[in-house]
Structure 1
Amino acid sequence: MRIAVTGSIATDHLMSFPGRFTDQLVADQLHTVSLSFLVDELEVRRGGVAPNICFGMGLLGLTPALVGAAGSDFDEYRAWLERHRVDTRSVHISELKHTARFVCTTDSQQNQIASFYAGAMAEARNIELRPVAERLGGLDLVLIGADDPEAMVRHTEECRGLGYPFAADPSQQVARLEGEQIRDLVDGAAYLFSNEYEKALIESKTGWSDEEILTRVGVRVTTLGAKGARIERKGEPQILVPVPQEKAKVDPTGVGDAFRAGFVAGLSWELDLERAAQVGSMMATLVIETLGTQEYELGAGRFLERFALAYGEDAAEEIRGRIA
């Protein structure tokens, strides 16, 4: 299955300050703040929704095409992704801007001061999907993730115009997008991904009811956190998929991306929707147990053992030969 994943490409720079920000603030000088915090730790993590999804798919043995914009500082990140089976040849490299960056300092009370630099991400709107399809010999699915809003709209319109099946995954950009933009991104999607809050926001902003959205998309997949995932299709009973028991809740960042990676991998293996969502839920569980969105390991035996424990031996047997 020839799959392209579009979306943001970013790195996260995370720092820890051992004191409290509030202790450094002078009430009558807040109009002219000038502070510098000596931090104890710095963690640089690979991120961005598209690489996170591609990384998970690569672990499962697929070779997805990453489509997005990055800066000239992308070389190390590119090498990492390629070592994990991700095709990065369709990444646009900006001549002027760095890769998008999230810089955040957290104090001892979990207060945060952060900045997000969009950088090269804004140039994703210049990327065309047709050359990607020509290079791959066609596209069986394009997952359109959170990105520069103009890029998201452009890629969706191109999929409609050229007949590429697409999955709409606006996620965190739903809060920024207007109703008309969201309608453009959702209408005609083969799959629509969101969490429960985003689902309600999509309905509120578009003015479409849950039932009407089901007439406009093929499959609606809603992640429910600890309650699992719900799959809906027009005229069909909904499917509820629970999540496996996690060993620990370490960091929820990237859990949704891992679910999508597993779900799409299941589709490529021609599993039914319930089994595909089970693969996605197992991937999500591995991520929540790990610090970092691309630091988890699959370990086929461990994956299958836990998958069988959660969903039964028959379910595990169905995917046994698929795990890379």
Structure 2
Amino acid sequence: MNIIVSGSMAYDRIMAFPEYFADHILPDKIHMLNVCFQVDGVTEHFGGTAGNISYALRLMGKAATITATIGHDHRRYFKWLESNDIAVDGIKIIDKEFTAGAYITTDKADNQITGFNPGAMKFSSELDFDSLDPENTILIASPGNLDDMINYPRRCKEKSIRYIFDPGQALPVLQPEDLIDVITGSFLLIVNDYEFDLILNKTGLTREELLALADNTIITLGEHGSRIYRNGTETKIAPAAPRGVIDPTGCGDAYRGALLSGLASGLDLEESAKLGSICASFAVECHGTQVYTFTPEEFEDRRKSY
């Protein structure tokens, strides 16, 4: 099974402010804000939905083709991917742009101020659909270039390619008519509970109408597991227990990567979602996204106790 992962490649730069933002912001001067927060340092992580999902897939023993864009500062990221045996052939380099980057500052109360530069993500990855075998391909369209998020599912429908739509943090800027069109006929819509409600709000659909658009829908619920909806039925997927929760960032992408690995292995959606739950439990045990790891034996041990 050829797995195509469409999404973003990004550097996440995380900074810790050792005080409280509120102590340095004057409420009566909020209209003319001019502040500087001196941080304790910067840690950089490899991120982006395409990178994160492909990393989880590799841990699960599967290879994916990444279709995404990256900037002229790509060398460190490519070196990381290659060291993890993840192919970079499908990643388009945009020489005149930086790689997409999130700059996240967190204070003592876990309040965050984030700046995001889309950089290379503003450009299409220009996936060649004519080179794909419809019978043996599954594509996931995750947050990344907005045109790709809408156009790739449409091309999948034209080519009879099975696809998963994962709108995530791009939902606020996606148009209602595009959302309805792309979700309709998809093999799977996967969102968290907030995102599902946001789609309802944007489209004006009822819950039942939205659930009827895709062949299957998965709603993830964080520590409460996930739910599969198909043909008017609901299947509960329990969460897998981590050793401890350190950072939930990226656990959704871990879930998606392991879910894809199950589907590519011929498992049904329920068994694949269980793999997603187990993989996500490893992801929350570490700071950062492509940081967690496990051996096949460790995964199997957790699967047995799941």
Q: Of 132, 154, 157, which aligns to 2:154?
A: 157
Distance 1:216 1:111, change over 3 A: closer
Query: Partners of 1:122 and 1:74 in 2: how far apart?
Result: 16
Amino acid across the alignment from 1:6 = S
Q: Which residue of 2 aligns with 1:274?
A: 270
Q: What residue number does 2:190 align with? A: 193
In structure 1, the gaps of 5 or more residues are 311-324
Q: Contact 2:67–2:127 at 8 Å: present in 1 too?
A: no
Please state whether the residue corresponding to 1:250 is helix, strand or coil: coil
TM-score relative to the length of structure 2: 0.93
CA distance in structure 1 between the partners assigned to 2:112 and 2:268 by the alignment? 42
Q: Are 2:238 and 1:239 aligned?
A: no
Q: 2 CA distance for matches of 1:200 and 1:31?
A: 32
Distance 2:151 2:87 in 1: 21
Per the alignment, residue 250 of structure 2 pairs with 254
Deviation track 1:55-99 (CA, whole Å, cap 9, x = no partner) reads 000111111011111101111112212232322211111121100
Q: Which residue of 2 aligns with 1:303?
A: 299
- Counterpart among 224, 239, 242 of residue 227 in structure 1: 224
Q: Which moved more, 1:51-60 or 1:10-19?
A: 10-19
Alignment partner of 1:73: what SS? coil
Q: Which amino acid aligns with 2:220?
A: T
- Give, in whole Å, the separation in 2 of the partners of 1:54 and 1:109: 32
Offset from partner CA, 1:139-160 (integer Å, 9 cap, x none) = 5101000112222111122112
Q: 5+ unaligned residues in a row in structure 2: which ranges?
A: none
Give the whole-Å Cα distance in 1 for the aligned partners of 2:14 and 2:218: 31
**1:87-236 pair list within 5 angstroms:** 87-124=87-124, 127-130=126-129, 133-134=131-132, 140-234=137-231
The 5 Å alignment of 1:10-159 reads: 10-25=10-25, 30=30, 32-124=32-124, 127-130=126-129, 133-134=131-132, 140-159=137-156
Secondary structure of 2:218's counterpart equals strand
Closer, same or farther in 2 for the Cα pair 1:199/1:20, shift >3 Å?
Answer: closer
TM-fit CA distance, 1:226 = 1.6
CA distance in 1, matches of 2:224, 2:112: 28
1:226-245 Cα offsets, whole Å, 9 max, x none, are: 2211112115x322110122
**Secondary structure, counterpart of 2:249 in structure 1:** coil
Q: Distance between the aligned counterparts of 2:201 and 2:277, measured in 1?
A: 27
Paired amino acid for 1:194: V
Name the counterpart of 1:287: 283
Q: TM-score, normalised by structure 1?
A: 0.88
**1:255-312 CA distances to partner (integer Å, 9 max, x unpaired)?**
11111111111111111222111110000100111111110112111111111011xx
SS in 1 for 2:205: coil
CA shift at 1:28, angstroms?
6.3
Any conservation in 2 of the 1:222–1:230 contact (CA below 8 Å)? yes
Indicate conservation of the 8 Å contact 2:188/2:215, yes or no. yes
How far apart in 2 are the matches of 1:291 and 1:44?
A: 11
Secondary structure of 1:153 counterpart: helix
Aligned residues: 306
In 1, distance between residues paired with 2:26 and 2:236?
A: 52
Q: RMSD value over aligned CA atoms? A: 2.0
Q: What one-letter code is carried by the residue in structure 2 that aligns with 1:20?
A: Y
